[in-house]
Structure 1
């Protein structure tokens, strides 16, 4: 009986992406705390009178219940039986909206289906309100913290407080490179990299699961960290460019004088 109750319990979820399945239905990528990233079909969701129509929105916490599974073009698709709003703040707008789609793209590219990441789910949920705050520096730090969590949770982020090749502690007074293949390595004088003190602070916060501390550490070298993580993400996600990042660049060009 306990197993049946657990199986029927609503799942916390966010909509990452959707596309049309028929004239009246949608296929959705959901990020759930319990099951990870899953694909569901929402039958009739496009109909004007559907209760799902105004609920299945990005960046809104949902409580969903699933039905039967089926194979659709080689992908396991589950039936979305119901979905209701699970609470949360306003949807981010402007630059925050683009930042939110950046998070969704990272999850779509970086996570395998049916692979739960409960801590990353909680980090995603805690990041969305920051994106809606309008604080540019805070938004940038929140993005970097999420990217670090994604890389760490998927097992591709090296230990940041040691030089990867030697496993010796980084020199907190020197700069280091965060390389996708060779990990953390020291730099020569004059080269651009991340301060060892920042790398150490990032690792301490990651180990302690201290999201606020991680965001604070990201403020120590915002531009350098963004550039280093960009290379890491492109390498491990198998892409030379993220669509949302390219869109951010184009938007920035339009608003700059």
Structure 2
């Protein structure tokens, strides 16, 4: 990770920037602490004073998965002094898609949980912000393959932006170009390697196309490349994410698994 990104200045008072609410929790009887994902500052902690009051206009704005434009100003240091809690001066709806419904809302919370657990505070990632904004509408796709491709594309961008994704066009140990006709595996410790055992296998051609799409910065090209190998790519990226997240399971994924078990037991 680029250490130079960690220390950033708070924005000027009243200067607006796009943001998304990742999480919120009570701070007082009338106020909230927000975990915002902003384009200019990355993930920041923000106090929204008065947001819980019944007549507050912020109640309808500070919702997850909704693009908003916020104005922030300097706040106070946390108890540890490691990060600054900014103050929310204003927030307005920034347009875009409505809130996801049905199963898509679990996918949305899954994206939020990945950002909360893997992205350091005040570490700007404008490209990742754009990828998140592009992924949310993809969750509304009518066919499951399109929404799954959107999830995989975001996972790839996240891992790449925080420095945890190897160059997918090269064999990591030898730094030689991949053979398109051969199969490879993604190892959390060793990168792109020859597959062994029951590891998820991805063709060299698929990995080369994924790397090209990431370097080109084309969301459409990345979606297309992801769509060619969805089951194997899902398994491979799940392995990488589980390794870097540690042993604690993602809450959103566990909820989805529990819900699926409940539905299965009720199926005649």
Distance 1:170 1:85, change over 3 A: same
Q: Residues of 2 paired with 1:155 and 1:191: CA distance? A: 22
1:99-150: CA deviation from partner (whole Å, max 9, x where unpaired): 0001101111111111100011011111111112332111111000000000
1:33 matched to 2:39: yes
Aligned match of 1:56 in 50, 58, 62? Answer: 62
Q: How does 1:16-95 map to 2 (within 5 A)?
A: 16-74=22-80, 75-95=83-103
SS at 1:8's partner residue? coil
Structure 2: gaps (5+ residues): 1-10
**Aligned in 2, Cα 1:82/1:188: closer, same or farther, shift over 3 Å?**
closer
- Name the CA shift for 1:176/1:84 in 2 (closer, same or farther; >3 Å): same
Q: CA deviation at 1:48?
A: 0.2
The 8 Å contact of residues 90 and 132 in structure 1, kept in 2 or not, is answered as no
Length-normalised TM-score, structure 2: 0.90
SS of alignment partner, residue 52 of structure 1: helix
Asked if 1:187 corresponds to 2:195, the answer is yes
Please give the alpha-carbon distance, in whole angstroms, between the structure 2 residues aligned to 1:113 and 1:225.
Answer: 28
Q: Quick one: distance in 2 between partners of 1:83 and 1:191?
A: 46
User: Once structures 1 and 2 are overlaid, which stretch shifts more, 236-245 or 20-29?
Assistant: 236-245
Unpaired segments of 5 or more residues in structure 1? none
1:95 deviation in Å? 1.1
Q: Give the TM-score, by structure 1 length.
A: 0.93
Task: Say whether 1:237 aligns with 2:222.
Answer: no
C-alpha distance in structure 2 between counterparts of 1:130 and 1:152, whole Å: 20
**Count of aligned positions:** 255
Match of 1:150 in 2: 158
- Give 1:237 deviation, angstroms: 2.5
Once residues 190 and 70 of structure 1 are traced to their aligned partners in structure 2, the CA distance between those partners, rounded to angstroms, is 50
Secondary structure of the residue that 2:54 maps to in structure 1? Answer: coil
- Check whether the contact 1:23–1:46 (CA below 8 A) recurs between aligned residues: yes
Q: Does 1:104 align with 2:112?
A: yes
Give the distance between the partners of 2:163 and 2:174, measured in 1 at CA.
20
- The answer to whether the Cα contact below 8 Å between 1:66 and 1:78 also exists between their aligned partners in 2 is yes
